[in-house]
Structure 1
Amino acid sequence: MASFNSPSHSASTPPVRSVSTLSRFERNRERALELFASKGFGQVSLRELAAHLELTAGALYHHCSSKEDLLFEFIEEHYEGLLALLARRVQGTPPLEVVRNLTASLLRLYQRRPLHFQLAMSEARCLGPAHQQRIGELRDRFQQCLLQQFGIGPDIDPALRQSTGQAIAHLLEQMPTWMNHSSLPETERLALLENLTLGAISQLLSHIENRHPLQSRGFRRAAILRKPA
């Protein structure tokens, strides 16, 4: 594991350091993210990675034991960022507002970290078993938090609940990339993505309601299907 600790790896906010006090690895770390995203993790040699970071291979080993450790950190940061969004959600928020808030928050996160999204979707398969397990745990936490947001409790059939969590998580993780090349103004793009997401999640919840009526848990599907005039 690399010795560099980003803010997402620490429960407390680290002290702000000036650029001049950062190591070369810390200053250039994001270049590795760009290299993995542009060439594909498997196509990047350790020697090329070190050169891209303006380091020798030996100096790179001082900060991380392998290029896989660095890829793992980027993907771990991605899921910790997603979990941080859900941690800010207020319990009891109407489902329609949950979708609106999540759509806007995910787009903002994607605008800050587009390459993190790309690596998580395309390169996570390159991780070894131990790293895969850790990412799997974070992904499961993300799915469980989403299920809680939409009032889908543990009394649902376990297989259906798990599949629903996976579907919603995958939908929301992919959503920010849907209109990468759209020429729409930002407000219109957000509105379109919100409606697309709303429709997809509504259908998922409708399917669950048909199998397990949700009204007894204080959740009405109409609340998410109907937008105020």
Structure 2
Amino acid sequence: MPVTQPSPDCSRYQTTRSQALRLFAERGFSRVSMRDLADYLGIRPGSLYNHIDSKEALLFELIEELYEQLLHGARQVQRCAATPAERLNGLLEAHLRLHASMGAYFRLAEYDGHCMASEQQAQIRALRARYTQQLVESVERVTGQPAGNNRRAALSGIVALLNQLPAWIEAPELSPTARHELLRDMVLSALRGALRGTQD
């Protein structure tokens, strides 16, 4: 069966997305003007809208893609995990490992989401809530107890920690494996502390 090649327009758009993502992550979304973006892409400002609908629409698309990937990873863990503990550990592992390929996406999601329109922010909050619910359900299965409001709030904070921690801890002296183990241990420690400190 012949392999379908992406259309030139599709390939051009994917290249535009990748370059824009790099620039947003390096400078911060709010510091990049449309002219800056056009210069970076090597095109005239007037032709930028032939490549993207708007800067905000592109930001939304990138952050949406991140949460779709997180949810996809959570579904895969749910199918493969044999025990509640394996599911919880697998969920944390999959989240941390996604930073290797989507680190710039995480930075946009955590620091530039407020630049989107209110409707777009609401859609991202809904995706994030769906993902947080995966963590809540995993913890409920491990503890055997339903999560009340306090515990849900604490677990929402753990999601924020998972999103931000790899960018905080560079640790160039560590091997990639050792760094990953450090990050995992820090998240598990924070999770244990959050569960001890919440009374529902």
- What TM-score do the two structures reach when normalised by structure 2? 0.82
* Other structure's SS at 1:89 match: helix
Pair 1:104 & 2:93 matched = yes
Specify which of 167, 170, 184 is matched with residue 160 of structure 2.
Answer: 170
Structure label with greater radius of gyration = 1
CA contact (8 A) 2:25 2:104 kept: yes
CA contact (8 A) 2:63 2:108 kept: yes
Aligned-CA RMSD value: 2.6
Structure 2 counterpart of 1:183 = 173
Structure 2 counterpart of 1:12 = none
Pair 1:60 & 2:48 matched = yes
- Tell me the CA shift for residue 82 of structure 1: 1.4
CA contact (8 A) 1:25 1:53 kept: no
Change (3 A) 1:156 1:20: closer
Structure 1, unpaired ranges of 5+ = 1-14, 213-229
Specify which of 118, 143, 146 is matched with residue 132 of structure 2.
Answer: 143
The one-letter code matched in structure 1 to 2:195 is L
The one-letter code matched in structure 2 to 1:112 is S
Deviation track 1:57-115 (CA, whole Å, cap 9, x = no partner) reads 443323433111111111111111211111112366333x3454234323331111111
CA contact (8 A) 1:143 1:166 kept: yes
CA contact (8 A) 1:98 1:149 kept: yes
The one-letter code matched in structure 2 to 1:118 is R
Alignment of structure 1 residues 61-210 onto 2, 5 Å: 61-90=49-78, 93-95=83-85, 97-151=86-140, 155-157=146-148, 159-208=149-198
Structure 2 counterpart of 1:45 = 33
Deviation track 1:179-199 (CA, whole Å, cap 9, x = no partner) reads 224321222222222221111
Higher mean displacement: 109-118 or 41-50: 41-50
Higher mean displacement: 161-170 or 132-141: 161-170
Distance 1:62 1:165 in 2: 42
Deviation track 1:18-57 (CA, whole Å, cap 9, x = no partner) reads 5856453332321101111112212211122123223334
Matched length: 194
* Other structure's SS at 1:151 match: helix
Distance 2:15 2:180 in 1: 33
The one-letter code matched in structure 1 to 2:96 is L
Change (3 A) 1:160 1:109: same
Change (3 A) 1:60 1:146: same
Structure 2 counterpart of 1:32 = 20
Change (3 A) 1:16 1:82: farther
Structure 2, unpaired ranges of 5+ = none
The one-letter code matched in structure 2 to 1:37 is A
Q: Which has the higher helix share?
A: 2
* Other structure's SS at 2:140 match: coil
Distance 2:95 2:147 in 1: 27
The one-letter code matched in structure 2 to 1:186 is P
